[in-house]
Structure 1
């Protein structure tokens, strides 16, 4: 284990701890605190599905993606502490605060007497239709599904004891039941309604006990680097068995007797799973659907800012000057307009786009279908290996292909994570190009709460390179070590020049500092993991370059270490929006070089993906991005500072004068000052 790097899983857990911290803050609106509990829970489930299997298999991992040595004991200790915080803040802070607002969230309590009749009717008319039970003594081929909640019901029948396994049908029925009685809004989980009516489920027996549990399973698809036949079909087959993967965690009610727990372990072959004590309720990610809606208990509304293009064609505007959108502060309608105009404009001949995660009801997907039906040549590169979005991407691929869209599937051994689109028009006998390059997915759903940056440009050099990239992607092959096909000068493309250009930009700042000139680097990423890039930042700090980093998630770099990284600071912002944009700013002797893009500095992004970062040339747009970075680096209300161990320190603050960067940025964009 490299002593100059933080363990990646410990760092990720620190990020999730920062998410949990938002739920503890009295300055965060009450219903939003519940949502942060939901996000924390959802994140942790994914950690057990994705990272725990990797930790268990580290001895078999090889190559450039070789992970840092796992620290399972430390991982478990951190998670256990966070889970205790989760339960404490819910019971001792949030539930009393809800009660003070006339909202009774029935938690580890019997069904209130005024609701008995109504909940029994709800059970018999609705919930009972979805219940399936199996006796543990005769479980046979019964297979607990991934992350589904079950009850283990201890029964005595005559002189025999057994355990009945019963599902909680939250996916089918929703997790919560709500009713208002005498001015109090009650909220119950269906778990408690089912427990209150077990006599209907297992009649004629003595019910000794009832405890909940769930099993989390490995989420990795078994996909080889080279595919023979239809890749979409192969991935569809893998998706159908994903939830049958090896168990990585058994989460159970801590009050469950040891003997009963051991029965579950033996019956369901969970000997190699991590056993995790929990509370009476699991899947608290469902708190995202808490059935109380009150503006007074939620964030104040921030309507997205329109870009004022309704009376102007978007391509005419882009021809005159580059446009830079900052969503969700700016309206995503401008992006939709870009694709809609391309679909309708008779002069448009070709549209090319990469799609990584599409919205379920994607308007962009529909625009591409319309474009194809309107006679355009539409080429869509669909990344079918986008984890947990495979099925949706396949569904859209089939729809678009049926409409005449040319679909290009995943490159063997690589994921295409770039977020780029290119439109070609034929005007007066010549080709004219318009490009859309983004830091986030072409997904109007996530655009409502992910902060991203979207450049719309007619820059000829940049878009000629983008056209060459699409030509390369159509070949569906990995770049060769000395691939001469594509040598971009403007774009930074992983597998071609991205890492080398970033290393050179850092080296230029090192050279400036060594010559006594001003030097500085400001970078915003989701994750910072890759050792070559981290070591280069260490080298810059040792040369006197000031390095300011905003890293939302994993950060393996150790800031502030004497002799190693004294000139490096790292901040993490967690607020109402998910910080998702990637920004790279290099001082360049007072003429900053500014890039945006899709690439984090992780092993997977640099070595196993096609990523695109792109320069921002317009002086006013470069200035806006520098101002945004300055504000975020000065955040005192929602930011924390990472120490050399990766811990969150020095914030956040609920003080009235604290600077919340997201609020400040929204106000500036609303006033058209950014």
Structure 2
């Protein structure tokens, strides 16, 4: 069988759309509080925005460049755009069905009303008129479009109003930007316990004539444009990478339009005017029934009095491996420590750097930073460490998409404080997650290491599921030291003692481990692979998995997002099961399990099985060798595979379906992990009390 036939591969973009459908399904789940459902709807919209700004934009560039090559699934760029448009138009319809037919009626039952201007009583209209005059009108700027005043360059994702006017002469067009500095959703005074809201653009439309005295307003068309926001950086010729990225980020607002969103039923002349001015096609134009930009609904998450419509925040307990330990270094010396976020608190990671920053015995700290929070305690600790005279080296990845500006600002602050800041490598993103603390102790110099599957971001650590390991074993200390030396200086790629790295050895490592499972089957044994990741798209790895399946290796793939592999095909992938878990938390951990003839090998990694991770990023994979920790990871995989509530299983055509729950226990893996983390600490507390007694 030819594993490389295009019919055996799912197009990456269409697979991503399937993932976003799973996100949208959560918005329909009435087991969530209402605002949590609305949040999933907004997330699906935010995901879609980024998809257009990056993926659709890059494919459009290929079409305009005349590239007609096929991807692994056999589609040319033009064919991909055509199929994307068909699927996304259907998806947007489902989004608005969810909003209009499910979520807004649910709000109405709770006497929370979203209404247009015409539904307001006279007192409310008077309030809105006064608000318009005092607060809104002063920040509005009408922009005429004529021979002397060309169509303006509107910012990416800005909400605007196109106005068709009739004067004494010919018809004219003008634009008014809906100011982003004002709240999009505005509460209106009401009685009888009701909460009534109106959208900012509805207020502006009602008063639009104030800005065009002497003209008759024939039509008003709200619209939003999405632009190409992928950075175009010539790293080879850039004299100053930081400056080049700063300039590229500034240009991001003004990339070529890739999507036009307007309200359905808008004035046809105004619509055609926008299509003509933006040089966009009908296929790239998306008409929606109401309320452009569904991400705006996230504003309701911060409205006072809506706390009962949200989930009660889960308080992450102290990780069981750090319970009762005030000195983080003594805890790590005692044993390797595994932490599972957000079910266990991320504080141990921030404490690791914080304690190191002021510890007189700590000589140096080295750390990679890919995405950090806006008020990062880790960055503050690194600055404190430098101020205390420690040698601090930080690898800040400036090319972390949509976090470039934040990372540039942090990099400048770190440099100003005296840290050595490295901005990454030409042609490679530094995506690995590692921190190294070098400490002077009685026995000599000891190296403490943290390696993880997720970013050093204290905010996303509350929402993303990730796993980290703390160790002071010499082999890992030597590897991570060598990794930092390679990234910051000039040296040959080391021979690793424990870890595997991309783009150097990680691809070969996965090939070797899969081949080993095939060999186990050939020798009459059992071959088994369980891989948990965010995305699977690399063609060579998929071919290896097909080869393993055809040889009889049992494979379970727990893939949150993109999966270009087709499961369940006779003779090819009949031994492969693909499942996806989408729930309250974003599944982000990467765990790779290989049966290895009954002596399982388990690796954690920063890398997904995508070509970019294996060939164009600096990544690490590291083994978990202590039996106690291996059992915990095996249990995490087992519980994930037993999920019956938030799991979907891939079908042969690449779509996903919820499993048949009949006769099966209700297992929601994320909640199981949270309960187990709480119970583990409760047991430790109980043991401590018993000792006191």
* TM-score range relative to shorter protein: over 0.9
Q: Does structure 2 retain, via aligned residues, the 8 Å contact 1:41–1:283? A: yes
Query: Aligned to 2:95, which of 70, 86, 92?
Result: 86
Cα–Cα, structure 1 residues 326 and 107, in superposed 2: closer, same or farther, change >3 Å? farther
In structure 1, C-alpha distance between the alignment counterparts of 2:335 and 2:324, rounded to whole Å: 17
How many residues align structurally?
A: 667
Alignment of 1:64-103 (within 5 A): 69-70=76-77, 71-103=80-112
1:385 equivalenced with 2:399 (yes/no): yes
Contact 2:6 2:72 in 1 (8 A): no
Which structure 2 residue ranges, 5 or more long, are not aligned? 684-693
Aligned mates of 1:96, 1:109 — CA distance in 2: 19
Note if contact 2:24-2:95 (Cα within 8 Å) is conserved in structure 1.
Answer: yes
Query: 1:114, CA displacement in angstroms?
Result: 4.5
* Number of the residue aligned with 2:278: 268
Q: Does 1:302 align with 2:309?
A: no
**Maintained 8 Å contact 1:559/1:565:** yes
Any idea what SS the aligned residue of 2:274 has? helix
For residue 161 of structure 1, report the CA deviation from its aligned partner.
Answer: 2.2
SS in 2 for 1:249: strand
Aligned to 2:514: 506
The answer for the alignment partner of 1:331 in structure 2 is: 345
Name the residue aligned to 2:462: 448
Task: State how far apart, in whole Å, the 1-side matches of 2:358 and 2:492 are.
Answer: 37
CA RMSD of aligned residues (A): 2.4
Rounded Cα–Cα distance in structure 1 between residues aligned with 2:355 and 2:281: 58
Question: Is the contact between residue 143 and residue 268 of structure 1 (CA under 8 Å) also seen in structure 2?
Answer: no
* Whole-angstrom distance in 2 between the partners of 1:484 and 1:15: 40
**Shift, 1:591, TM fit:** 2.1
CA contact (8 A) 2:219 2:267 kept: no
SS of 1:534's partner is helix
1:479 is aligned to: none
SS of 1:559 mapped into structure 2? coil
* Structure 1 residues 653 and 255: CA distance shift in structure 2, 3 A: farther
Q: 2:20 aligns with which of 16, 19, 24?
A: 16
Q: Choose the corresponding residue for 1:347, options 361, 371, 382.
A: 361
Contact kept in structure 2, 1:486 and 1:496, CA below 8 Å: no
8 Å contact kept, 1:533–1:601:
yes
The answer on whether the counterparts of 1:327 and 1:452 sit within 8 Å (CA) in structure 2 is yes
Cα distance change, pair 113–19 in 1 and its aligned pair in 2 (3 A): farther
Moved more, 121-130 or 559-568: 121-130
How far off is 1:541 after superposition? 0.8
User: Shift of residue 589 of structure 1?
Assistant: 2.1
Change in CA separation of 1:63 and 1:199 when aligned onto 2, cut-off 3 Å: closer
Q: Does 1:193 align with 2:207?
A: no
Q: Give the distance between the partners of 1:87 and 1:9, measured in 2 at CA.
A: 22
Bigger drift between 101-110 and 513-522 goes to: 101-110
1:158 matched to 2:162: no
Counterpart contact for 1:111–1:192, Cα < 8 Å: no
2:221–2:270 Cα contact (<8 Å) kept: no
Q: Distance in 2 between matches of 1:75 and 1:349?
A: 53
What secondary structure sits across from 1:281 in the alignment? coil
Q: Does 1:409 align with 2:423?
A: yes
2:135 aligns to what? 126
Q: 1:157 to 1:141 in 2, by over 3 A?
A: closer
Structure 1 stretch 546-555 or stretch 507-516: which is displaced more? 507-516
Contact (CA 8 Å) 1:439, 1:580: kept in 2 or not?
yes
| CA displacement 1:155-192 (0-9 Å, x = unmatched) | 2223432222111113x112211245211011222111
Distance 1:436 1:42 in 2: 32
Distance 2:442 2:613 in 1: 41
Do the aligned residues in 1 keep the contact of 2:449 with 2:470 (CA within 8 Å)?
yes
Contact 2:511 2:544 in 1 (8 A): yes
Q: What do the CA deviations read for 1:114-142 (whole angstroms, capped 9, x no partner)?
A: 42122222222222232121122254261
Which of 565, 581, 604 lines up with 1:557 in the alignment? 565
Counterpart of 1:428 in structure 2 is 442
Cα 1:17/1:109, change in 2 over 3 Å = farther
Any conservation in 2 of the 1:305–1:330 contact (CA below 8 Å)? yes
- Alpha carbons of 1:65 and 1:522: their partners in 2 closer, same or farther (altered >3 Å)? same
> How far 1:108 sits from its partner (Å)?
8.9
- Contact 2:221-2:267 at 8 Å conserved across structures: no
Query: Which residue in 1 is equivalent to 2:498?
Result: 490
1:651–1:34 Cα change, 3 Å: farther
State the match for 2:657 in structure 1.
Answer: 649
Which stretch of the first structure deviates more once superposed, 290-299 or 581-590? 290-299
TM-score (norm 2): 0.92
> Which residue in 1 is equivalent to 2:690?
none
1:145-224 alignment to 2 at 5 Å? 145-170=155-180, 172-182=181-191, 183-224=193-234
1:271 is displaced (CA, Å) by 5.6
Distance 1:349 1:548, change over 3 A: same
Contact 2:591 2:602 in 1 (8 A): yes
Task: Give the match's secondary structure for 2:7.
Answer: coil
d(CA) in 2 for partners of 1:651, 1:465? 43
d(CA) in 1 for partners of 2:657 and 2:458?
A: 34
Local SS of the residue matching 1:13:
helix
> Quick one: structure 1 residues 468 and 669, their matched pair in 2 at CA, closer, same or farther if it must change by over 3 Å?
same
8 Å contact from structure 1 (residues 526, 582) kept in 2: yes
Whether the 8 Å CA contact 1:110–1:192 is kept in 2: the answer is no
Which residue of 14, 23, 30 maps to 1:26?
Answer: 30
Give the structure 2 partner of residue 37 of structure 1. 41
Shift of residue 660, structure 1, vs aligned partner:
1.0
Is the 8 Å Cα contact of residues 117 and 206 (structure 2) preserved in structure 1?
Answer: no
Name the CA distance, whole Å, in 1 between partners of 2:660 and 2:414. Answer: 46
Alignment partners' CA distance in 1, 2:210 and 2:668:
53
Cα distance between partner residues in 1 of 2:151 and 2:499: 54
Correspondence for 2:125 among 108, 116, 119? 116
Query: Using a 3 Å threshold, how does the CA distance of structure 1 residues 362 and 375 change in structure 2: closer, same or farther?
Result: same
Please point out which of 356, 360, 370 is paired with 1:356.
Answer: 370
Q: Residue 220 of structure 2 contacts residue 267 of structure 2 at CA under 8 Å; is this kept in 1?
A: no
Mark the CA change 1:110 to 1:163 in structure 2 (over 3 Å): closer, same or farther.
Answer: farther
Name the stretch that deviates more: 648-657 or 453-462. 648-657
Counterpart among 526, 531, 553 of residue 534 in structure 2: 526
* Of 259-268 and 322-331, the range deviating more from structure 2: 259-268
> Deviation at 1:518?
2.3
| 2:394–2:421 CA contact under 8 A, matched in 1 | yes
Distance across 2 between alignment mates of 1:64 and 1:610 = 28
Alpha carbons of 1:109 and 1:377: their partners in 2 closer, same or farther (altered >3 Å)?
farther
Deviation at 1:301, TM superposition (A): 3.1
